[in-house]
Amino acid sequence: MPALSPLLYAEPRHRRAMHAAALLIFTCIVIAGSVPGARAEVGEYASGIVLHSLAYAGLATLWFLGSTGSTLQRALKAVLAIALMGAFDEGVQHFLPYRSGTVRDWLVDVSAATVAATALGALLARIPMPQAAGRNPARPG
């Protein structure tokens, strides 16, 4: 599992890229969800619960990996970000005549984010933080 260490403890530029990717994917989700008939077509392949769970768990994963702080702080940041994104998405859907924004979908989003953040937190607890290159761990630098 040490191979996951660079992903769980990413460099600042990679963390920013993960947050940017999450925001870009979220923007695409909102835009695609606003296209008349698009949701119905996708619904032929997966239910709304599956789509929401996978999409928002993925976004939560990106947000967690892009965050800093303790494991709990990273998890809370990810869940809060998804709660806001999900609320925005459902708010947009509420104003579209061919869609409906629901609290149930928002709860699925937040639940998926919570599960993803909890799993990542458990994984993070098992993988030690990598030592910085060229530093002696016995001497603070």
What predicted TM-score, i.e. pTM, was given to this entire model? 0.82
**Residue at 140 is within a domain:** no
**Residue at 135 is within a domain:** no
**Residue at 22 is within a domain:** yes
Residues 6 or more apart whose CB falls under 8 angstroms from that of 64 comprise 74, 75, 77, 78, 116, 117, 120, 121
Q: What is the pLDDT of residues 42-63, one digit of tens each?
A: 666 666 788 889 999 999 999 9
**Residue at 116 is within a domain:** yes
**Residue at 141 is within a domain:** no
**Residue at 131 is within a domain:** no
The range of the structural domain enclosing residue 14 comes to 2-126
Q: Is 137 exposed, middle or buried (0-12, 13-18, 19+ CB in 10 A)?
A: exposed
**Residue at 27 is within a domain:** yes
Q: What is the pLDDT of residues 76-99, one digit of tens each?
A: 999 999 999 999 999 998 888 877
**Residue at 138 is within a domain:** no
Number of domains comprising the chain = 1
Q: Is 37 exposed, middle or buried (0-12, 13-18, 19+ CB in 10 A)?
A: exposed
Compare 56 and 6 and report the one with higher pLDDT.
56
